[in-house]
Amino acid sequence: MEITFLLNGETMRVTAQPTTTLLDWLRNGRGLCGTKEGCNEGDCGACTVMVTDDSGAKALNACILFLPQLHGKAVRTVEGIAAPDGTLHPVQQAMIDHHGSQCGFCTPGFIAAMATAHLAGRTDHDDVLAGNLCRCTGYAPIIRAAKAAEAQPSPDWMQDTPPAVETVPYAPETLDALAAFYAANPDAVIVAGATDVGLWVTKQLRDLPKPLFLHRCTDLQQVEVTDDALHFGATVTMTAVLDVLRDHHPSYAELVRRYGSDQVRNAATIGGNIANGSPIGDNPPALIALGAQLHLRRGDALREMPIEAFFLDYGKQNRQPGELVTGVTLPRHAPDLRCYKISKRFDQDISAVCGCFNISVVEGVVASARIAFGGMSGIPARATTVEQALIGQPWTQATVDVAAGSFSDDFTPLSDMRASAAYRLEVAQNLLHRYFAQSQGQAANVLEVSA
């Protein structure tokens, strides 16, 4: 495949296999070994680079970023963060001044993440660096360095302009072209953010004989906010979803803030998180609790369905060969929605259980209830028996106690490395109690409770 992009200010025209990762190409193809390989699966941030496209600069993990995804973008690696004359970037100088590096293995990834955030004027350093692991320095000096650099302007050389490029067959630019290609080539493998597909290659050593990249299709990147609905095109990244949700669904936004890391959210798309059918994806439970509608397209044929109807069985979705997920529409207002993510680590971890509750109470009686869980069965699913035990009942502790007993009628969870079946069932019940406690004005979030 022919790929054109900017690398540290220099135009690259590369012919490469579709599954060549940026990390491998930098280290083995260009001898740029500053960008490190730690986990090779998006978890450690050692391979962080800055990538600029029309929507701005973002930190991405080079280990799960295929070269064709860079067509028309600009990449800046740690080698391009100091000025060409060697003048250090403010975050580099601050890391020296504040002793932010010991063995140094993680440091290029931290520098790339920090310099990208510095360019955007971000000061939420804990969130920015949640995807960068350091095993020896400890985070306090690194955060001190990030804070110290805040006052300095971002150097001019950090401003990259993505190059103008030709249309390429592997990445259609309109939805019409994309849908026509996929309908005619249903054996193609769609690559959106590659936060799943990347691992098929780096961990399962799979080939992608016929990849179809979505990142050039601007029709799928649209966000629409109307009086009563939000619409996300399928390739809206989780970072962009988070930006919109903060104003409309703060609890769902808090769930997404804990989705992977900044680097993962900058790549992962909402459509990919739905289309992969994972039972532990974070968006589906929230979208089911909201009553969202999913949009699909095969050639010129459009379909729409309540999102829960998409998940048929483990690994099986209501999607025909050659049919794309094109987007999702959700209500703009749902003041009763609360989303809870239970995972072993607070940041950068997949949910063991994710419970989302949308229960409305009118004059003390439950008028409607939509409760959805991830991690409780082979698909994200509603707790319909619990819902029925609540609807029409007074919204009291006694009602909640009875309804919580019905989770075992709705779900028979599995035991796996994330949690045991018994733990999952107990957590589901406890989350209903937590929702009730919050509805009574009690602080129930670990970030809110104090001794």
Ligand X SMILES: Cc1cc2nc3c(=O)[nH]c(=O)nc-3n(C[C@H](O)[C@H](O)[C@H](O)COP(=O)(O)OP(=O)(O)OC[C@H]3O[C@@H](n4cnc5c(N)ncnc54)[C@H](O)[C@@H]3O)c2cc1C
**Cβ-count burial of 346 within 10 angstroms (0-12 exposed, 13-18 middle, 19+ buried)?**
exposed
Of the candidate spans 66-74, 241-249, 265-273, 443-451, the one that interacts with ligand X by CB under 6 A turns out to be: 265-273
The site for ligand X, by CB under 6 A, has a size of 30
Helix (H, G, I), strand (E, B) or coil at 393: coil
User: Residue 141 binds what, of ligand FES, ligand X, none (CB under 5 to 8 Å, by partner type)?
Assistant: none
Residue 267 CB contacts under 8 Å (≥ 6 apart), including other chains: 60, 61, 64, 65, 193, 194, 195, 237
**Cβ-count burial of 71 within 10 angstroms (0-12 exposed, 13-18 middle, 19+ buried)?**
buried
Q: Give residues 37-66 in contact with ligand FES (rule: CB under 6 A).
A: 37-40, 42-47, 61, 63
Told to check if 278 binds ligand X by CB under 6 A, we report yes
Of the candidate spans 2-10, 103-111, 269-277, 306-314, the one that interacts with ligand X by CB under 6 A turns out to be: 269-277
Told to check if 105 binds ligand FES by CB under 6 A, we report yes
Told to check if 48 binds ligand X by CB under 6 A, we report no
Told to check if 289 binds ligand X by CB under 6 A, we report no
Told to check if 268 binds ligand X by CB under 6 A, we report yes
Residue 240 CB contacts under 8 Å (≥ 6 apart), including other chains: 55, 223
User: Residue 406 binds what, of ligand FES, ligand X, none (CB under 5 to 8 Å, by partner type)?
Assistant: none
> Min. distance of Cβ 391 from ligand X in angstroms?
29
Told to check if 102 binds ligand FES by CB under 6 A, we report yes
Residue 211 CB contacts under 8 Å (≥ 6 apart), including other chains: 18, 19, 66, 68, 170, 188, 189, 190, 191
Q: Between the CA of residue 256 and those of 11, 76, 149, 217, what are the distances in Å? A: 35, 26, 27, 24
Helix (H, G, I), strand (E, B) or coil at 438: helix
> Min. distance of Cβ 76 from ligand X in angstroms?
21
Told to check if 99 binds ligand FES by CB under 6 A, we report no
Which residues contact ligand FES (rule: CB under 6 A)?
37-40, 42-47, 61, 63, 101-107, 134-137
Which residues contact ligand X (rule: CB under 6 A)?
41-43, 189-197, 234, 259-260, 264, 267-269, 271-273, 275-276, 278, 281-282, 324-325, 350
